Structure 1
Amino acid sequence: MAKVHAYLNFNGNCEAAFQFYLTVFGGSLLGTHRYGEMPDDPSFSIAEEDKDKIMHTALMINNESMLMGSDCMEAFGPKAVFGTSSYIMLDTETPEEAQELHKKLSANARNMEMELGETFFAELYSSFIDQFGIAWMVHYEGDKKLG
């Protein structure tokens, strides 16, 4: 069964927010990727002042739930509008589960942001806005686990 995690978007203050969440929940960050670590891609570029911003970070809240977040980058679309900037992330246990959830949830999607496929951080990943306007991420990490 898929696990549901909260993924929060910020307008440049993700790192400060997660430092605060550490004081609230304890524990440690499971890993942090910055935009400057992304592989070079000629189809888009990251402004020098944005390279240190958070592309992805995560904090385990309990044995089953994570709080995750990133800074929104104007290069990838509009900045976060709070109240409508949340994604529901389904962290699947198998590639088959990821494929099935993606197929079912993305039927008649309003916006396919990223088709299900391999990335540098996951064996399978997709993001889209479903037919009802709900933002989803389907994720199967596989052999690309962080340290």
Structure 2
Amino acid sequence: MAILHAYLNFNGNCEEAFEFYQSVFNTTSLGVYRFKDMPADPNSPLPTEVADKVMHTAIKINDSVMLMGSDCIEGFGHKATAGTNAYLMLDTQTAEEAKDLYNKLTVAAKNIEMPLGEQFWAELYSSFQDKYGISWMIHFEGNKKMQ
């Protein structure tokens, strides 16, 4: 069964926010991926000013709850606004579960930001707004553990 986590999006101050949340919940970071950690794409060079922004970070609030977040980069077509500044993130136990949830939740979806597929940080990942405008992420980490 999938585990539900909160995923927060920021317009450039994710790192500051998560330092604050670490102090609030008396916990440490599980790690940080920065945009400069992405594999280079010669068709879409990474602007210098966003290289150190947070692509993904996470903290554990307790044994079963994580808070995750990232900075949104407008040049990549994403800006944190009311409605997309928080996502419901389903962290699945298997690839089959990820595919099943994706197929069910995306029926008549309003917007598919990223179709379900492999990423360098996850075997399967997707983000979208369902037919009711609720923002979801589906994630199956598989053998791609965060460092």
**TM-score class, shorter:** over 0.9
Cα shift at 1:56: 0.3
Cα distance in 2 between the residues matched to 1:9 and 1:118 = 21
Letter in 2 for 1:135: S
Helix, strand or coil at the partner of 1:145: coil
TM-score normalised by L of structure 2? 0.95
Helix, strand or coil at the partner of 2:109: coil
Q: CA distance change for structure 1 residues 99 and 78 in 2, over 3 Å: closer, same or farther?
A: closer
| Corresponding residue of 2:94 | 94
Matched, 1:118 2:138: no
Give the RMSD, CA atoms, in angstroms: 1.2
Helix, strand or coil at the partner of 1:108: coil
TM-score normalised by L of structure 1? 0.95
Could you list the structure 1 runs, at least 4 aligned residues long, displaced by more than 3 angstroms after superposition: none
- Unmatched runs of 5 consecutive residues or more in structure 2: none
Quick one: percent identity of the two aligned structures? Answer: 59
- Unmatched runs of 5 consecutive residues or more in structure 1: none
Q: CA distance change for structure 1 residues 43 and 106 in 2, over 3 Å: closer, same or farther?
A: farther
| Corresponding residue of 2:13 | 13
Cα shift at 1:44: 2.4
Cα shift at 1:88: 0.7
